């Protein structure tokens, strides 16, 4: 079975919701749509307080090349545009809409599925850009930018990422089982942009045999390879997935297209299909509501902008023992500070965890056991990075590959001294950035 060449861990999978079908969540009493749901510059608001909007209407316009459009996820009245908590942990400009209950689509949106083969390459990319599609795996890189690599780079491998290696999360898994046809069509649209020169693969971890079977039936006759991957974290990280499937290694400072590869998420492929064939902007996504402390674990199709508080109520409330609510997976997700935080395009799940799952003991000193070195998929020395960060040696730390760390969390997971290795690395990255900013100012 294929896997990446070095490191990795295997935390308890806890895929508690893998057999629960996707449930469509009703319109919440208020939607709070963040204008910063992607990498790059936040979108510029194009609606005013008090104006009426329709479902699918543009409310935030991409500001610059690396940015993405944002659309209303239901019809109603704009109540406010103000900073609001964001699942990334910071505040972001957010458009608040009070739904009118009609849930009316804007003109030209959500049309009957049309044949994408009649569209030109340029039209397809324009449709993807207009629909505000971003990478739905977590980073949120604008998809239209990723699909237009520089002309001197030739793409020979397109990989659809169905690994979903984070424990608990099953959103992509359910999409693959329930709508394999949309996944395959989305991938075909993406491949068509490279004139059939690129070989397409779907990489799926072996703990999802039903998804592998469903996709094999549909994809293999079309020449798409379905690759079963070893269940190991972080199999779904872009660099590791490329390494597992093609054997190529993305070196420091390189991007996947430097090695002829392009990776897209399962959710993104479905969104691409809906945008290109049905003119449907990205206004909803599948997310997993799981963890030990929520009454009903579910996979839900929630509108972008649904406050987490309403999702908690929809899933039958959390118990009093809940100590941490995490947006995303337990390895890379972020602990929330407010339940008013809304769903964004990159929210793959919400987890409710109690004390027994938390690393509550204090950090102790490094005992040089080198477990973190063994599990680092990027071949770094996390203990060294953390220790040097702690000593505030920010010139030296860059020599040890600070920029190469993908913050996957494998090192923190195995550390017997409970060191906050990834947190120290993030801290170092922030301070290195701050110093560079001050130097250039």
Decide if residue 119 touches another protein (CB under 8 A).
Answer: no
- Residue 139 in contact with another protein, rule: CB under 8 A: no
67-88 as b/e: b if 16+ CB within 10 A: bbbbbbbbbbebeebeebbbbb
**Alpha-carbon dihedral of residues 115, 68, 164, 266, nearest 10 degrees?**
0
CB of 28 to another protein, least distance (A): 22
Give the residue, chosen from 103, 104, 178, 420, that forms a contact with another protein under the rule CB under 8 A.
Answer: 420
Please identify which residue in 8, 28, 42, 85 interacts with another protein, judged by CB under 8 A.
Answer: 85
Min. distance of Cβ 341 from another protein in angstroms?
10
Task: Between 231 and 398, name the residue whose CB sits nearer to another protein.
Answer: 398
Is the Cβ of residue 229 or residue 350 nearer to another protein in the bound state? 350
Contact range with another protein by CB under 8 A, out of 58-66, 79-87, 260-268, 297-305: 79-87
x-or-dash pattern for another protein, window 310-339, by CB under 8 A? Answer: ------------------------xxxxx-
199: left (phi over 0), alpha (psi -120 to 50) or beta: beta
Give 440: exposed, middle or buried? Use CB within 10 Å, 0-12, 13-18, 19+.
exposed
Backbone angles phi, psi at 291, to 5 degrees: 110, 175
Q: Restricting to residues 350-369, name those near another protein by CB under 8 A.
A: 358, 360, 363
Q: How far is the CB of 433 from another protein (least distance, A)?
A: 10
Cα angle value 318/323/325 (rounded, 5°):
65
The least CB distance from residue 368 to another protein, in Å, is 20
- Give the nearer residue to another protein in terms of CB position, either 83 or 247: 83
Q: How far is the CB of 289 from another protein (least distance, A)?
A: 20
- 211 forms beta bridges with none
Q: Distance (Å, rounded) from C-alpha 333 to C-alpha 110?
A: 32
Bridge partners (DSSP) listed for residue 71: 58
Three-state DSSP state, 83: strand
Give min distance, CB of 418 to another protein, in A: 11
CA 166 to CA 259: how far, in whole Å?
Answer: 25
Q: Which is nearer to another protein, 180 or 409 (CB)?
A: 409
Q: Check residue 13 for interaction with another protein (CB under 8 A).
A: no
Q: Least Å distance between CB 82 and another protein?
A: 7
With respect to another protein, which residue has the nearer C-beta, 213 or 403? 403
The per-residue b/e assignment along 131-166, b for 16 or more CB within 10 angstroms, e otherwise, is: bbbbbbbbebbbbbbbbbbeeeeebebbbbbbbbbb
CB of 347 to another protein, least distance (A): 16
How do 349-354 and 284-291 pair as beta strands?
parallel
CB nearer to another protein: pick between 146 and 429: 429
Residue of 91, 103, 255, 260 interacting with another protein (CB under 8 A): 91
Q: Does 257 bind another protein (CB under 8 A)?
A: no
Q: Contact, 268 vs 36, CB < 8 A?
A: no
What DSSP assignment string belongs to 320-366? TTEEEEEES-TTT-EE-S-TTPBP-TT--EEEEEEGGGS--SPP---
* Beta carbon nearer to another protein, 83 or 209: 83
**Is there binding between residue 49 and another protein (CB under 8 A)?**
no
# binding residues, another protein (CB under 8 A): 24
Give the footprint of another protein on this chain (CB under 8 A): 82-83, 85, 89-91, 334-338, 358, 360, 363, 392, 420, 423-424, 426-427, 430-431, 434, 438
């Amino acid at each position: 079975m294929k896997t990446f060449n070095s490191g990795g861990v295997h935390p308890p999978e806890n895929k508690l919701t893998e057999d629960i079908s996707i449930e469509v969540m009703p319109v919440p009493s208020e939607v709070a749509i963040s204008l910063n749901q992607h990498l790059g510059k936040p979108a510029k608001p194009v609606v005013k307080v008090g104006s009426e909007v329709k479902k699918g209407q543009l409310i935030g316009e991409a500001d610059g090349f690396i940015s993405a459009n944002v659309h209303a996820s239901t019809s109603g009245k704009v109540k406010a545009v103000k900073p609001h908590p964001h699942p990334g942990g910071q505040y972001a400009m957010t458009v608040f809409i009070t739904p009118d209950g009609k849930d009316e689509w804007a003109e030209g949106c959500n049309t009957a599925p049309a044949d994408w083969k009649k569209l030109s390459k340029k039209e397809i990319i324009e449709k993807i850009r207009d629909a505000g599609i971003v990478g739905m795996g977590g980073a949120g890189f604008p998809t239209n930018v990723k699909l237009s690599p520089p002309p001197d780079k030739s793409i020979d491998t397109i990989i659809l990422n169905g690994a979903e290696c984070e424990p608990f999360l099953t959103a992509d898994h359910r999409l693959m089982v329930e709508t394999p046809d949309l996944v395959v069509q989305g991938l075909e649209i993406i491949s068509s942009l490279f004139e059939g020169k690129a070989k397409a693969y779907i990489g799926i971890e072996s703990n999802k045999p039903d998804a592998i079977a469903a996709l094999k039936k549909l994809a293999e006759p079309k020449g798409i390879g379905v690759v079963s991957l070893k269940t190991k974290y972080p199999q779904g990280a872009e660099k590791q997935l490329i390494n597992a499937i093609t054997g190529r290694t993305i070196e420091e400072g390189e991007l996947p297209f430097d090695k002829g590869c392009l990776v897209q998420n399962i959710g993104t492929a479905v969104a691409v299909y809906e945008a290109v064939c049905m003119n449907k902007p990205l206004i909803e996504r599948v997310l997993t509501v799981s963890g030990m402390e929520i009454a009903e674990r579910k996979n839900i199709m929630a509108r972008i902008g649904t406050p987490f508080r309403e999702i908690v109520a929809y899933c039958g409330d959390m118990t009093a023992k809940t100590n941490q609510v995490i947006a995303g997976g337990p390895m890379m997700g972020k602990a929330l500070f407010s339940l008013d935080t809304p769903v964004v395009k990159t929210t793959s799940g919400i987890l409710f965890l109690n004390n027994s799952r938390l690393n509550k003991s204090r950090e102790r000193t490094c005992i040089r056991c080198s477990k973190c070195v063994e599990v680092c998929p990027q071949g770094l020395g996390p203990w060294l990075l953390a220790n040097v960060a702690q000593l505030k040696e920010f010139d030296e730390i860059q020599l040890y590959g600070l920029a190469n760390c993908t913050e996957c969390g494998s090192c923190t997971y195995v550390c017997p001294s409970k060191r906050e290795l990834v947190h120290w690395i993030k801290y170092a990255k922030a301070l290195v950035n701050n110093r560079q900013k001050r130097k250039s100012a």
